[in-house]
Amino acid sequence: MSPDPATEKPSPGVTDAGMPVRGYRVAPGGTLVGEVGVPGDKSISHRAIMLGALADGATEVTGFLEGADSLATLAAFRNMGVQIVGPEAGRVHIQGVGRDGLTAPNGPLDVGNAGTAMRLLCGLLAGQPFESTLVGDASLSRRPMRRVTDPLAQMGAAIDTTPAGTAPLRIHPVDRLHGIDYAMPVASAQVKSCLLLAGLYADGETCVTEPAVTRDHTERMLATFSCPVQRDGARVCLRGGSRLTAAPVAVPADISSAAFFLVGASIAAGADLILPAVGVNPTRIGVLNILRAMGADIEIANRRDCGAEPVADLRVRSARLSGIEIPRDQVPLAIDEFPALFIAAACAEGETLLTGAEELRVKESDRIAVMAAGLVALGVDAEVLPDGIRIRGVGNGRLTGGTVHSHGDHRIAMAFAIAALRAAEPVVVQDSANVDTSFPGFAALAAGAGLDIEETAAVAAETAQ
Ligand code: S3P
């Protein structure tokens, strides 16, 4: 039986291969001031490589996230014959090969920790005339893939998973795919995007209906690449056989990375922080809506467009937060920001209740169980619910400090690092290596703004009990 990542006791300080893991030791207190430019949006960076590779002509990308996840997507397309120059300071030049120009990879495509890469590529590869295999790391190899392989099978795709419905995914060529009209059982932009990409190779129209609004970067970028996607309420449709025309992509700063600073500056005393040019796509701003409902002091200034995506400069200052019942319609709009939001809840006055968020259990870790365990270790009253969490905030008080384990989840490591701003004792975060998947340079950037954070390989082993 494979270990349950929610309850499995982490091996302190070493990876599966016995290597020492990186960790953080964060001194308690301090504040965040000045200006912090967070790196490019991960979701948009993945899509820029994918659509740029399939387009006719050359695509110039700026602001590309040089994190392990989006670099895995870039490497996968190089492996399928696409010439890509960069990234260099966020610039990437992609020589598109056209809709039908990919060539068979010379082995399995390893996308590491990147769920977006695996699920979107699965759709795109389902329509190729060659066989391919998608593999990932231990965390990704536990995540559910039937949510994409089942509807793709309805389109005529031939994809093998493990008996548990997980990767490796072996994708066999088929004569033809046909469009389907699919009502998604879960609100997932990854599933929607996977099916739209497969739909490019399908006969007729492929339509996807979402049960709740999910991020629409794929639709926006397809339109930029002259491939229109029709939206009618919750249903999006794309006509098979469409070709893409290369177009420049400017990637905004990632609101999911900004979230750690929005929360950090809200909970720290005397904080005043500017986050320039952050993506504020309405399908991603749940974190702003939820934090403001909790009483956060966030100004959204200088709204403008960055290509197909809206951006704004965010200014956040210390505030007294109050616990809230998180509105269910905000859950998909803040799906990646809950680790940070749980820290806000832990520092708020009163109770915060999240329900309808069972998806958090199948992210890079079980984010309900892993966050609850870490919050309890920091002296916070947190109760795990089947589909969410109940957190009783410390109000005017402080978290205790202590040792928490990220379970290899980048967003959990960053959330607990930020929590030290309101702790009485140091916070030690075991296993920060995967922060590089979405936010390379996080510790240095946070230190520049005032967080007293030290990154070390030995910290986890020394302090683990
Ligand atoms: C993503 C969609 C979300 C999100 C993930 C990135 C995307 O997943 O959690 O980090 O880029 O489409 P789901 O759509 O499965 O919720």
Q: The sheet that has 388-392: what strands, in order across it?
A: 351-354, 388-392, 381-385
Domain boundary among 203, 226, 250: 250
The two three-digit tokens of residue 403, written as one number: 């040792």
Residues 202 and 307 in one domain: no
| Residue to mutate (ligand 1; options 49, 190, 367, 410; most atoms within 8 A of CB) | 190
For residue 10, being part of any structural domain is answered with no
The reply to whether ligand 1 has any atom less than 6 angstroms from the CB of 215 is yes
For residue 302, being part of any structural domain is answered with yes
Query: Is residue 59 classed as helix, strand or coil in its secondary structure?
Result: strand
The reply to whether ligand 1 has any atom less than 6 angstroms from the CB of 257 is no
For residue 13, being part of any structural domain is answered with no
d(C-alpha 283, C-alpha 306), whole Å: 16
| Residue to mutate (ligand 1; options 41, 43, 143, 337; most atoms within 8 A of CB) | 43
| CA 188 – ligand 1 centroid, Å | 6
| CA 285 – ligand 1 centroid, Å | 14
d(C-alpha 68, C-alpha 292), whole Å: 32
pLDDT, residue 457, reads 79
The reply to whether ligand 1 has any atom less than 6 angstroms from the CB of 70 is no
Give the nearest ligand 1 atom to 147 CA: 15
Report the pLDDT averaged over residues 406-428: 97
Evaluate if residue 464 carries a pLDDT over 90. Answer: no
| CA 52 – ligand 1 centroid, Å | 20
Evaluate if residue 89 carries a pLDDT over 50. Answer: yes
Give the nearest ligand 1 atom to 42 CA: 11
Residues 288 and 424 in one domain: yes
Residues 162 and 76 in one domain: yes
For residue 347, being part of any structural domain is answered with yes
The pLDDT tens digits for 225-271 are 999 899 999 999 999 999 999 999 999 999 999 999 999 999 999 99
Evaluate if residue 427 carries a pLDDT over 70. Answer: yes
The pLDDT tens digits for 17-76 are 555 679 999 999 999 999 999 999 999 999 999 999 999 999 999 999 999 999 999 999
CA 101 to chain CA centroid, Å, is 29
Q: Which domain holds residue 149?
A: 42-250
| CA 114 – ligand 1 centroid, Å | 10
> DSSP labels for 346-381?
HTSBSEEEE-S-GGGGGSSS-HHHHHHHHHHHTT-E
pLDDT, residue 8, reads 46
The pLDDT tens digits for 103-121 are 999 999 999 999 999 999 9
- CATH number reported for the structural domain that contains residue 411 in this entry: 3.65.10.10
Evaluate if residue 461 carries a pLDDT over 90. Answer: no
Percentage of the chain lying above the pLDDT 70 cut: 94
Residues 169 and 301 in one domain: no
The reply to whether ligand 1 has any atom less than 6 angstroms from the CB of 335 is yes
For residue 158, being part of any structural domain is answered with yes
pLDDT, residue 456, reads 83
Evaluate if residue 463 carries a pLDDT over 70. Answer: no
Residues 262 and 405 in one domain: yes
Residues 228 and 336 in one domain: no
Residues 221 and 290 in one domain: no
The reply to whether ligand 1 has any atom less than 6 angstroms from the CB of 59 is no
Residues 323 and 378 in one domain: yes
Percentage of the chain lying above the pLDDT 90 cut: 93
Task: Enumerate the active-site residues.
Answer: 336
| CA 458 – ligand 1 centroid, Å | 32
Report the pLDDT averaged over residues 179-193: 98
Report the pLDDT averaged over residues 82-104: 98
Report the pLDDT averaged over residues 169-178: 98
Evaluate if residue 315 carries a pLDDT over 90. Answer: yes
DSSP 8-class letter at 409:
-
For residue 85, being part of any structural domain is answered with yes
| Crossing angle between the packed helical segments 442-449 and 255-267, to the nearest 10 degrees | 30
The reply to whether ligand 1 has any atom less than 6 angstroms from the CB of 336 is yes
Of the pLDDT bands very low, low, confident and very high (cuts 50, 70, 90), residue 9 is very low
Residues 165 and 278 in one domain: no
Evaluate if residue 431 carries a pLDDT over 70. Answer: yes
Residue nearest to atom 10 of ligand 1 (CA): 336
Q: Find out whether 258 and 312 touch, Cβ atoms under 8 Å.
A: no
The mean pLDDT of the chain is 94
Residues 218 and 263 in one domain: no
Residues 209 and 278 in one domain: no
For residue 421, being part of any structural domain is answered with yes
Domain boundary among 250, 269, 301: 250
* Count of structural domains, the chain: 2
Residues 206 and 69 in one domain: yes
Residue nearest to atom 5 of ligand 1 (CA): 116
Of the pLDDT bands very low, low, confident and very high (cuts 50, 70, 90), residue 195 is very high
| CA 364 – ligand 1 centroid, Å | 11
| Residue to mutate (ligand 1; options 124, 215, 360; most atoms within 8 A of CB) | 215
pTM metric for this prediction: 0.95
Domain boundary among 250, 276, 310: 250
pLDDT, residue 15, reads 54
Nearest to 443 by CA among 417, 461, 419: 417
For residue 152, being part of any structural domain is answered with yes
